[in-house]
Chains A and B, each alone.
Chain A
Amino acid sequence: MLQNFIRGISGCEPDWEPRNIIESVREELCRNVGAEKAVIAFSGGVDSTTLLAIASPITGKNLRAVCIDSGALREDELTEVRFNASAAGARNIRIVPAAKEFQSVLDMETDGERIRKKFQKPYARILMEEARKFGAPIIIQASLAPDFIESGKQGSSALIKTYHNMVNFPGFKRLDPLRYFFKYEVREFARLLGLPASVAERQPFPGPGLYVRILGAPPTLYRAAILRWADARVREIVRKHDLEKNFSQLVVALMCTPTVGIKGDKRVYTNSVIYRALISADFMTGIGYEFPVEVRREIRRTVTRHPKIVRAWPDENDKPPATTEFV
């Protein structure tokens, strides 16, 4: 019936031939980059890794993958970044330690939308600086089609962008080779290109990272460190029980509104951890995943061992009314 509707009734011609599409992306890249140098904003996520894998054979040593460590990355994330870059055939990768700069720009901000907005400036500045250092006139990003769909009131040209990668780079040529594609298509490219499943099936992680998972207090490096530890422990347990395939995204957040607890003999008044996983095909709607009893027990007993964490709650709320992330 789909075939009858799409081909017969609507007269569409097949346009999904991923190998040809990858070739045409490569051709376009060749035309736009030529013999110049370029940097690519690299997060280790499925989009930027796939783009790097598409670009590397064309650009070789002329392309530097730039990964910005804002201080909000998870435990072992940089190891994964290096691994993914290598799997994608990167010849040149630079990881920029930038926690101090992001912290100073975020400046004790607690509002999630403002955090995402503030995140854009140092991100752009650092990318441009790295491009300059490398002698590259071109900055490449792995933005996808939905990033380019203008939203807002009809007739208005105002773009509501709180995506960290929708920024401008004055003085540089900006390329978005994946601008026509959607995430489900990019995952197919990843599989076709032979990238490991850890890349093709990788679950999304927000650009501002752990900073948007610190609730009720400014996202300082100190709090990020506590959350980094808790996030890693929860993920370890989830992996150990092989639960990752049951949901689309796992979010571990630090709830900074203090509650009373007992550590040893002492009374403490400090943070808690909330964790949730969403079962969703499209992230438009989703069902809160219900962790098995033994897993919940293991998570709370492990996580509350930290001196600065007294409670750990599973959040099973659906979307709607809740959203995937807390903030």
Chain B
Amino acid sequence: MEAPQILVVDLGSQYTTVIGRSIRELGFRTAILSPKKARDWLTQNKARCVILSGSDYSVSGLKAPTPPPEIFKSGAPILGICYGMQWLAEHFGGELFNELKNKEYGPATALIEECDPIFKGLKESRPVWASHGDSVKVLPPAFKCIARSAESGGITGMANHDLNI
């Protein structure tokens, strides 16, 4: 028996276990851990990929949960969801909004801008459920926008293939 290949860093979202359950349904195991436990887990295990969850917190707020820097050490692909994406954007030098006009709570439409491997098999435009206060205002250098919100024009997806993020 081996350790799960997928590390999900739980940054405090009520949806994190939903992510875990969905991944199980696809046939994969996950290690869902808090940032602190994730750091310790990484000293004993190797992750084939890392997922940064959403969070009830704001990246700019006090006590904002931080993924452990160890996630970058192995070069494993990293997927940031919601807060996870915003944290990555800020970490790599981008800027976040917290303006009212960019907040989205409810159904939205995501428009795929780039043919990224993560969108393989998906239609160009798809309905999504958005629930976020913060959003990415300025992309970090070396990241490109791969999807946008049809309603607000905001960045809904970004990628850097050299870093595998």
A6 to B22, alpha carbons, bound, how many Å? 12
Look across to chain B and name the residue whose beta carbon is closest to the beta carbon of A18.
B24
Among B40-48, B84-92, B129-137, the stretch that binds chain A is B40-48
- A15 contacts B29, C-beta separation under 8 Å: yes
Complex Cα distance, B123 from A1, in Å, reads 12
Asked if B15 is at the interface (CB within 8 A of a chain A CB), the reply is yes
User: Are A151 and B49 within 8 A (Cβ)?
Assistant: no
Per the bound structure, the CA–CA distance linking A10 and B4 in Å amounts to: 13
Contact (Cβ within 8 A) B1 A146: no
A24 at the interface (CB under 8 A from B): yes
Tell me the chain B residues, 9-31 only, with Cβ under 8 Å from chain A: 10, 12-24, 26-31
How many interface residues does B have (CB within 8 Å)?
Answer: 50
With a cutoff of 8 Å between Cβ atoms, the chain B residues found around residue A146 in the complex are 33, 37
A15: chain B residues within 8 A (beta carbon)? 2, 4-5, 27-29
Interface of chain A residues 113 through 167 with chain B (CB within 8 A): 145-146, 149-151, 154
The answer to the question of B100 belonging to the interface, with a C-beta cut-off of 8 Å to chain A, is no
For the complex, what is the distance from the CA of A6 to the CA of B30, rounded to whole Å? 11
B10→A282 contact, CB < 8 A: yes
Interface string of B109-144 (1 = CB under 8 A from A): 000000001111110000000000000000000000
* A77 interfacial contact with B, CB 8 Å: no
With A11-B48, A149-B40, A185-B29 in contact, do A2 and B22 touch (Cβ < 8 Å)?
Answer: yes
- The contact of B119 among A4, A12, A25, by CB within 8 Å, is A4
B5: chain A residues at CB < 8 Å are 10, 12-13, 15
Please tell me if B32 contacts chain A, counting CB pairs below 8 Å. yes
Contact status of A3 and B26, CB under 8 A, knowing A10-B76, A182-B32, A284-B10: yes
- What residues on B are CB-neighbors of A105 within 8 Å? none
Select from chain B the residue with minimum beta-carbon distance to A179: B1
Cβ-based interface call for B6 (8 A): yes
Does A281 touch B at the CB level, under 8 Å?
Answer: yes
Residue on A with the closest CB to B19? A2
Q: Give the shortest distance, in Å, between A144 (CB) and chain B (any CB).
A: 11
Q: Which residues of A contact B24 (CB under 8 A)?
A: 16, 184-185, 188
A183 and chain B: residue at smallest CB distance = B32
- Beta-carbon contact of B28 and A12 below 8 Å: yes
Which residue of A5, A21, A149, A184 contacts B32 across the interface (Cβ within 8 Å)? A184
Q: How far is the CA of A13 from the CA of B2 in the complex (A)?
A: 12
Instruction: Please tell me which one of the listed residues A9, A13, A184 contacts residue B118 in the complex, with CB atoms under 8 A apart.
Output: A9
Tell me the residues in window 310-327 of chain A with beta carbons closer than 8 Å to chain B beta carbons.
Answer: 320
A282 adjacent to B16 (CB under 8 Å): yes
Contacts of B33-58 to chain A: CB distance below 8 A: 33-34, 36-37, 40-41, 43-44, 48-49, 51, 56
| A5 in contact with B33 (CB, 8 Å) | no
A244 at the binding interface (Cβ < 8 Å): no
In the complex, given contacts A5-B77, A180-B1, A284-B34, what are 9 additional A-B residue pairs having Cβ atoms less than 8 angstroms apart? A1-B119, A4-B121, A5-B79, A6-B26, A17-B27, A28-B1, A145-B3, A281-B18, A284-B12
- List the 7 closest A-B pairs by CB distance, nearest first: A14-B27, A10-B49, A281-B17, A285-B12, A16-B29, A12-B5, A180-B1
A-B contact pairs, 22 of them (CB 8 A): A2-B19, A4-B117, A4-B118, A5-B49, A5-B118, A6-B28, A8-B117, A10-B49, A10-B76, A14-B27, A28-B1, A149-B37, A149-B40, A151-B40, A180-B3, A182-B31, A184-B21, A185-B24, A282-B17, A284-B10, A285-B12, A320-B63
